[in-house]
Structure 1
Amino acid sequence: MGAFFEGRQSDSPYIEFIWRGHSDPNYDRTCPADSRWNILLLKEKGRVKVTVEGPTTRAISKFTAESTEFLVIKFKLGVFLPAFLLTELVNTDLLLPEGAGKSFWLNGSTWQLPDFENAEVFVNRLARQEILTHDRVVRATLQNQPQEVSPRTVRRHFLQTTGLTPKELQQIERAQQAANLLQQGQSILDTVAAAGYADQSHLTRSLKRFYGLTPAQFGKEVFAE
């Protein structure tokens, strides 16, 4: 049993990436850690569920018993919904109430279900109504711009808008860098050096936590594809 995925970039200042696809019945997959939160629309048996999925700090196994269609709108770091505490959504999600017809409830209003083509229109409406916004401190920090705030203040802003600390973000992004290097055929020892790990054991612990694979297993997974 498998799945089909396709995605696209976005010119929106709020959106990191947009995915859509479908999966066969009894599809089991392991999703790597992801520092970005997203809105997921999942269609199963003709019914669409909308959830806000928080960031993940470990590899998570997901299983779908039925054939499903899905749309994922992944948001950039520092973009957040002020009505939600992302620290409470780490490694979990929140199901939003269904509305009449093809709609759902968010922040006290009903919203039409977005699709792959008009996701930006939906997100821009959220931003115009200030349901969605971005944090200037986080954005400036990510762009390495100097700021007159303390490290404690920066940490608080990251927690509020991403659900994670700067250190947790760094750990996830380093694992992503290592995974990309291994996918490109880089040796394990070269990956250790390039991604800044202390040694091979350090790399192994990181990939086991964030991807559910050892470096050697990762190579086999890539080869199998």
Structure 2
Amino acid sequence: MLETEHRPSDSPYIARVWRGRGAGVERMTSVATSHWEFVVWTHRGRVHAAVRGPETVATVADVPDGSESFGISFTHGTSLPHVAMARLVDAQLDSPHVTSRAVVFGDEERPLPTFDTAEQFVRRLAADGALVRDPVVADAVAGGTPRLGSRSVQRRVAAATGLTLGAIRQIDRARQAAILLQEGAAPLDVVHRLGYYDQPHLARALKRFVGRTATQLRRGTIAEPLSLLYKTES
């Protein structure tokens, strides 16, 4: 069983805060995501931490029995000023040092955050310049019309996320489709609601980004759990 809990945040830097626990589950399907995360996990008394970049395809991940994890998912436009964000896509950077109380982030040792102290941790990172935020990117991803040329916007999106605007929208749309199908929506309704060309187009997106078929999502027939999916305001 994979138990998960998540919550939104009022921080402009944080998209979501989550935590989970694995018990009796060997593997899970990690659904593609357009956000990068800071993740802390504990297994057999040892604490680990890493920055995980956006994932552009669904993958299978091991779930150590009894492991506990916690993560901060960052908003589009929030980035690490001294890391080329493209390096993080489908990749992970492990923290060079982490204990039960502290972690090295941005070349400085800091108190290890928790599910309840994520905002304080991120606030300190931003104040120290270890995190930066480009509101133009957030606006563009949300569907706004920034007062910049399209090429300038695309460059800023790529610099802050490591992805193109089109890739972000494809990933997020597939995640939304999966949620609708899990709730019982008919595939054809999802096609029309989310703007897919037809059902084969939806099927290809689900296979690539979610690792499931529409039927599997509607029936919940796969024992292997999915990573975190949640509704957004958009």
Instruction: Give the TM-score normalised by the residue count of structure 1.
Output: 0.92
C-alpha offsets along residues 42-83 of structure 1, whole Å, 9 cap, x if unaligned?
111211111000001111111033421111111111111112
Aligned to 1:117, the other structure's residue is in SS state coil
Change (3 A) 1:159 1:190: same
Deviation at 1:27, TM superposition (A): 2.5
Residues in 1 aligned to 2:107 and 2:69: alpha-carbon distance in whole angstroms: 24
Aligned to 2:138, the other structure's residue is in SS state helix
**Given residue 175 of structure 1, which amino acid in structure 2 is its aligned partner?**
A
| Structure 1: gaps (5+ residues) | none
Residues in 2 aligned to 1:54 and 1:149: alpha-carbon distance in whole angstroms: 27
Give yes or no for contact 1:20–1:72 (8 Å, CA) kept in 2: yes
Residues in 2 aligned to 1:122 and 1:148: alpha-carbon distance in whole angstroms: 32
| 1:40 alignment partner in structure 2 | 39
Return 162-171 or 98-107, whichever deviates more: 98-107
| 2:58 alignment partner in structure 1 | 59
Residues in 1 aligned to 2:96 and 2:31: alpha-carbon distance in whole angstroms: 27
| 1:109 alignment partner in structure 2 | 108
**Given residue 4 of structure 1, which amino acid in structure 2 is its aligned partner?**
E
Residues in 1 aligned to 2:148 and 2:5: alpha-carbon distance in whole angstroms: 40
Residues in 1 aligned to 2:16 and 2:134: alpha-carbon distance in whole angstroms: 19
Change (3 A) 1:189 1:46: same
Residues in 1 aligned to 2:221 and 2:160: alpha-carbon distance in whole angstroms: 33
| 1:10 alignment partner in structure 2 | 9
Change (3 A) 1:203 1:103: same
Change (3 A) 1:99 1:210: closer
Aligned to 1:94, the other structure's residue is in SS state strand
**Given residue 136 of structure 1, which amino acid in structure 2 is its aligned partner?**
P
Give yes or no for contact 1:82–1:131 (8 Å, CA) kept in 2: yes
| 2:230 alignment partner in structure 1 | none
Give yes or no for contact 2:47–2:99 (8 Å, CA) kept in 1: no
Q: Does 1:217 align with 2:208?
A: no
Deviation at 1:152, TM superposition (A): 1.6
Segments ≥4 residues shifted beyond 4 Å: 222-225
Return 200-209 or 182-191, whichever deviates more: 182-191
Return 64-73 or 189-198, whichever deviates more: 64-73
Change (3 A) 1:168 1:102: same
Deviation at 1:21, TM superposition (A): 2.1
| Structure 2: gaps (5+ residues) | 226-234
**Given residue 55 of structure 2, which amino acid in structure 1 is its aligned partner?**
T
Give yes or no for contact 1:3–1:27 (8 Å, CA) kept in 2: no
**Given residue 92 of structure 1, which amino acid in structure 2 is its aligned partner?**
A
| 1:68 alignment partner in structure 2 | 67
Aligned to 1:179, the other structure's residue is in SS state helix
Aligned to 2:204, the other structure's residue is in SS state helix
User: How many residues are treated as equivalent by the alignment?
Assistant: 224
Aligned to 1:65, the other structure's residue is in SS state coil
**Given residue 77 of structure 1, which amino acid in structure 2 is its aligned partner?**
H
Give yes or no for contact 1:40–1:52 (8 Å, CA) kept in 2: yes
Instruction: Give the TM-score normalised by the residue count of structure 2.
Output: 0.89
Deviation at 1:101, TM superposition (A): 6.2
| 1:19 alignment partner in structure 2 | 18
Alignment map for 1:60-209 (pairs within 5 Å): 60-99=59-98, 102-209=101-208
Change (3 A) 1:32 1:99: closer
C-alpha offsets along residues 74-100 of structure 1, whole Å, 9 cap, x if unaligned?
111111111222211111211011156
Aligned to 2:189, the other structure's residue is in SS state helix
